Amino acid sequence: MRAVGVHPDAIVVTSRIWQTTATAIRAGNESMLIDSPYFPDELELLPTLLRQAGFEPNGLLCTHADWDHLLSRLAFPGLALGAGQPTAERLRAEPGAAQRELRTADQEHYVVRPAPLSLGAWQSLPVPGFIEIGDQEIEMHIADGHTADGTAFFARWAGVLVCGDYLSDFEIPMIAPGGSLDAYRGTLARLAPLVEEANVVVPGHGSPHPRATALRILDEDVAYLDALEQGDPSAKLPKSRDTPRQREVHRDNLARL
């Protein structure tokens, strides 16, 4: 796990598997943690790491209901989890799904956890909308298409946009069950002006990037969706993401369409 400060009020922690990110954002004496790393030792270390950096989370947020973005409750079991309304509805409609999928991933990677995942109660947040934090507000924007749900969080005062599973430098656009190509296009269109106003963009999987890099990735992703719509199994992927694993993702995208 590595941690990097992207602003005096924002720190990004990246897991050593899947490049999964967790972002702590601070305003005054309050801070929020968005998403989570994966491994038990990373989650155990996370509270100490954030405390030493001057971040004491008052609450947890998730970009969407995929299990690998919900594990912050294992690090902070006493904190409430906030989720955009579509994500809260998905969690209610899929009881136990995150726990089952986490167990499957743990078995695949020989991971043993000291305790099972318990999401407890979660708070449904209206999207679009705002979350008050200190004397600032975090903006919430609809970000569906990868899945049926999704929220992007923009800390405008810090110039940090946390966009969930979009604009990754490791992954091509993935149309997961419940997602759709049209909705994905809509999210990229909504993200474009936010990226223009951001200094740092944090994808759900990958590296925090500056505005120029995020805009390049966004253009590549739009071009990829255009090729995907044509149904070409040999479509050219963005050069930096043309890997065997992303070729599998492309085949899965074609099958879902």
Q: pLDDT per residue over 198-216, tens digit each?
A: 999 999 999 999 999 999 9
Distant-in-sequence, close-in-space partners of 102: CB < 8 Å, separation ≥ 6: 67, 68, 71, 117
Q: What are the beta bridge partners of residue 84?
A: 125
Interval 129-165: pLDDT, tens = 999 999 999 999 999 999 999 999 999 999 999 999 9
Phi then psi dihedrals of residue 157, to 5 deg: -65, -25
Percent of the residues in the chain that have a pLDDT greater than 90, as a whole number: 92
pLDDT bracket for residue 1 (50, 70, 90): confident
Cα–Cα distance between 257 and 251 in angstroms, integer? Answer: 10
Structure tokens at 123: 């708070």
Is pTM beyond 0.75? Reply is: yes
The structural domains of the chain, ordered by start, are: 2-256 (3.60.15.10)
Q: Tokens standing for 170? A: 């490791």
The set of residues, in sequence order, having a beta carbon less than 8 Å from that of 175 and lying 6+ positions away, is 145, 146, 181, 184, 228, 252, 253, 256, 257
